[in-house]
Chains A and B, each alone.
Chain A
Amino acid sequence: MKYLYFPGCSLKSTGKPYEESILSVFRALNVEIEELKDWNCCGATAYMAVDELKSFSLCARNLALAVKQHGSGKDEPVQLIAPCSACYSLLLKSQHYMDENPEVGRVVKTALKEVGYESEGLHKKVRIRHPLDILANDIGIERIREKVKKPLKGLKVIPYYGCLLVRPYATFDDPYNPTSMDRLIQALGAETVDWSLKTRCCGGTLSGTIQGVGLRLGHLLLKEAIRKGGDLLLTACPLCQFDLECFQDDMNNRFQYKVQVPVAYFSQLIGKAFNLSDREVGAQRLFIPMKLEAAAP
C-alpha cells in the first residue's frame, strides 16, 4: 500500500529531524510514501482563532489534493500521513465538521468548487493517519521487532504522547492511557516508564509567547520524567519536541529544579535500533544528544 505524506510547516523547519527519521524508517521497512503535491497550511490552531471556516477550507484543499493525487476513481480511501499532531487533529476536525455541520459543509464545498476541486465525500475518501498508528497497526510490532539490529537493552524511555494526538479524536489509541508508542519502544528492546503525564499539555505555543506559563508546563513534564528515572523522553509531535528540548536552558534560568533530559522523536529511536546512521535519523540536529545506552546504576 502506498501512503501520501502531508508534512505541514514544522516538518520542513524545526521538526526536520522528525521528517528525516520517519522517511528513513519507512524506507528501511520498504513502505512506499509520497509527499502531497503543493500542500498548504493545515489551518493550525493559531489560524483557527481568527477564522474557522477558512481554516476548514484550507484543510479541505489538502484533502482534495490527496484524492486527486491518489486517483479519484479508486474505491479504497487514500491514506494521508500527518506526523504533526496539530495537523493530524486539524485535518480530522475539518472532516468531522464538514460532514456534521451543514453550514460548514456548504461553505467549504462552495469554496472548493470555485478552485475546481472535487468536494463530495472528502471525509470518507481520505483517511488521516499518524505514523505511530501506521507503525503499530499497519506494519505491526512483530515486523518492527524483526528489523531491530541494535537492541536498546536496559534503556529507560519515557513515552510522551501529548494532547492533540489522542484528543478530541482518538482514532487508534486510548485517549487517557495510550500505549502504541510504549509497545513500539518495547519492541526495540528498551524499557518503558509508566507515568501519569502521557497526555498532559506540553505548553503548546505558550512556550514561545507567554513563557511564564508555557515553560512551567514543559518543566513539570521534564521534572517528572527525571524523577521517574527516564534516560530519554520520546515525543510524537514537532511542537512538543521543540518545547521540551529547546527551552531547557530557559527553564533552568527560571526555575529552581534543574532539568537536562534528551528529548527525541520516537522515529529517531526506532531508526537507531535499526542501525541507521545519525544523519539518516537527523540526530545531529538535536540540542541534547540522544541517549542510547542505559545510565550507569
Chain B
Amino acid sequence: METRELMPDQLTELGENVHRLIKYEGELDRGFAAEIARLAHGEKFYTCIQCGTCSATCPVSHFMDFTPRRIIAMVRAGFKEEVLRSFTIWLCASCYSCTADCPREIKITDVMYALKQLAIKEGVYPKRFPIPVMAQEFYKIVEKKGRNSEGRLMMNIALKTNPFRLLRYAKVGLKLFRRGRVTLREESVQNHGEIQTLLGAVDRAKEAAK
C-alpha cells in the first residue's frame, strides 16, 4: 500500500501545513465497517453524523492520534490498517462518556473494544506499548486461575514492557505491601476445571458459528 500526501494547489502559508492521508478506493478494506458493526453490536454505527460529540466529551481525546469521531469515519471508509495500528484504541479508558452522550446512540466504547479485539487477534497493536500488554497478561492470569492477582499483574506488565518500570512503581508497591494492600500470592478459584471447560466451550461455540 502506498500513501500520498495531498498538497493544495495554492501553497499559501496555511496550505503548506495541510497534510492528509489519502487512499484510492481500491486500497480500502470495504468489509471492515461491517465486521466492526457486527463485533460492536449495532447497525446504528452506520448512522453517525460526524457531529464530534464523542471527541468533545472524551477525557483523553487530546492525547489520541485520531479522535473518536475520526476513528468512526475511518472505520466506515475502510482505513483498517491505520485504525488497528493507532494508539487511540488503546488510550480509550472505557469511561463510556461518548456512549452516554452520542445523539445517534452509537455504542462507541464497544466500537473501541471491537477494534482492540481485532488488533490483538491480528497482532498489529503497537509493540511494547503497555496497554495491550496489560490486556493480554490479564487475560492469561484469569484463564489460568479464574481470578486476577493485582500484584502479579503489575509485575508481569513491567517485565514484558520495560523492567525499569518496576523501579518506578517500587515506592507505591512497597507502601501498598506494608499496608496489606498487595501481595505476590496467586489468587485462584477452587474449581479450576470448571473455568477451563467454560472458556473452552466458548472457543468451540465460536468455531461452530463460523
Binding site for B on A (CB under 8 A): 9-10, 12-17, 38-41, 43-54, 57-58, 61, 97, 101, 103, 106-107, 110-112, 114-115, 163-164, 167-168, 175, 200-201, 203-206, 208-210, 212-214, 217, 246-247, 249-250, 284-287
* B95 touching A57, Cβ below 8 Å: no
A43 — nearest CB in chain B belongs to which residue?
A: B142
Size category of the B interface is 35 or more
Q: Is the CB of B130 within 8 A of A209?
A: yes
Please state if A167 and B96 are interface contacts (CB–CB under 8 Å).
yes
Separation of A172 and B168 alpha carbons in the complex (Å): 40
Closest partner residue, chain A, to B93 (CB atom): A204
**A to B CB contacts below 8 Å, 25 in the list:** A9-B147, A13-B149, A13-B151, A13-B187, A16-B180, A38-B189, A38-B191, A40-B146, A41-B148, A46-B138, A46-B139, A49-B113, A49-B135, A50-B135, A61-B195, A97-B41, A107-B202, A111-B201, A115-B198, A163-B94, A163-B95, A163-B97, A168-B99, A168-B107, A249-B172
A107 to B202 alpha-carbon distance, docked (Å) = 6
A213-B63 in contact given A49-B113, A115-B198 (Cβ < 8 Å): yes
Could you tell me the distance in whole angstroms from the C-beta of B29 to the nearest C-beta in chain A? 21
Among candidates A17, A110, A112, A206, residue contacting B93 with C-beta atoms closer than 8 Å:
A206
Main secondary structure of the interface of B (DSSP, over half): helix
Cβ-defined partner of A58 (8 Å) among B134, B142, B205: B142
Which residues of A are found within 8 Å of B175, using beta-carbon distances?
Answer: 246, 287
Contact A14-B181, Cβ < 8 Å, known A40-B195, A164-B96: yes
Q: Does B124 contact A (CB under 8 A)?
A: no
B22 at the interface (CB under 8 A from A): no
A148–chain B nearest beta-carbon distance, Å: 27
Task: Evaluate contact between A58 and B113: CB separation under 8 angstroms.
Answer: no
The reply to whether A285 and B181 contact each other, CB–CB distance below 8 Å, is yes
Interface residues of B in 39-61 (CB under 8 A from A): 39, 41, 59-60
Complex interface: chain B residues within 8 A of A14 (CB): 150, 176, 181-182
Q: How far is the CA of A10 from the CA of B91 in the complex (A)?
A: 22
CA separation between A115 and B197, bound complex, in Å? 7
